[in-house]
A = this chain, B = another copy of it.
């Protein structure tokens, strides 16, 4: 029973749990949070590679083996950090979009919100979009959290479409049947009623956004458009037009 609680705590779904009855549960919840906090701190300083269970335990004044009572392995601790990071990023992008009313402004806000979050949380961004951990299989909890950002982008386009404000800037090639079906699944889930052509453009812009943010983070703009503030703004403007949010 407590092993279930442990899992839930590790995956950040603490809020759904009832209040901790016993002192033991309370202590466990607090220690779990403290471990994650310290791990997040170390990740932020030395990157995910520099996350050491022994160092975390040392900093918390306990022995390394005791830490395994809370996270069965280093990967599990990293998974908890990944889910937290996805949710933190998703919340930041959602909030950035919600500060505007007009769909086009919400789109712009989401894009700039993502970049801001990536710049203020570089190691967490790399944790999510950098080199995948070998043999690591993302649990189901991560995919729903990971979808929050594309959901915001699709919502902006969907709202724009409903308001009749989405117009293709140039003729698009025909979508293949398979691609139309793949994108249709996404559309019915997150943006029902929006044509697949518009959704396809949105997904292209989505990957462009993360490609650009990743390039800036990994230094691939150094020597060309770094500092990338103005290039980023320009690219967002172009992709806003590209998806048809005229």
Instruction: Please name the residue on chain B nearest to A224 by beta carbon.
Output: B186
Report A33-58 residues with CB < 8 Å from chain B CB.
46-50
Q: Is the CB of B169 within 8 A of A129?
A: no
A203 to chain B, nearest CB (A): 6
User: How many copies altogether?
Assistant: 2
- The stretch from A4-12, A62-70, A111-119, A214-222 touching chain B is A214-222
For A238, the chain B residues whose CB sits under 8 A away are: 172-173, 200-201, 204
Contact of A179 (CB < 8 Å), options: B50, B211, B222, B225: B225
In the assembled complex, the CB of A143 is this many whole angstroms from the nearest CB of chain B, namely 6
Set of chain B residues within 8 Å of A46, measured between Cβ atoms: 134
Residue-wise, chain A 145-157 has the 8 Å CB interface mask toward B (1 for contact) of 0100000000000
**Does more than half of chain A's interface fall in helix, strand or loop, or is it mixed?**
helix
CA distance A7 to B3 in the complex (A): 53
Query: Nearest 6 A-B pairs (CB), nearest first?
Result: A211-B211, A130-B131, A208-B208, A169-B170, A126-B131, A207-B211
Residues in B with CB closer than 8 Å to A241 are 170
Residue of B nearest to A127 (CB): B131
Is the CB–CB distance between B234 and A173 below 8 Å? Answer: yes
- Establish whether residues B172 and A220, one from each chain, have CB atoms under 8 Å apart when the complex forms: no
Q: Which of A98-121 contact B (CB under 8 A)?
A: none
**Chain B residue nearest in CB terms to A138:** B219
Q: Among A143, A173, A223, A231, find the residue whose CB has the most chain B CB atoms closer than 10 A.
A: A231
Size range of the interface on A?
35 or more
Please tell me if the beta carbons of A129 and B179 are within 8 angstroms of each other in the complex: no
State whether A225 touches B182 (Cβ < 8 A): yes
A residues whose Cβ falls under 8 Å from a Cβ of B? 46-50, 126-127, 129-134, 138, 143, 146, 169-170, 172-173, 175-176, 178-179, 182-183, 185-186, 200-201, 203-204, 207-212, 214-215, 217-220, 222-225, 230-231, 234-235, 237-239, 241-242
CA distance A172 to B214 in the complex (A): 24
Which residues does chain B contribute within 8 Å of A242, judged by CB atoms? 242
Expressed in whole angstroms, the Cα–Cα distance for A241 and B169 within the complex equals 11
A209 to B215, CA, bound (A): 11
Residues of chain B within 8 A (CB-CB) of A237 are 173
Contact for A49 among B49, B143, B223, CB less than 8 A: B49
Q: In the complex, what distance in Å separates the CA atom of A185 from the CA atom of B226? A: 12
Smallest CB gap from A222: residue in B: B143
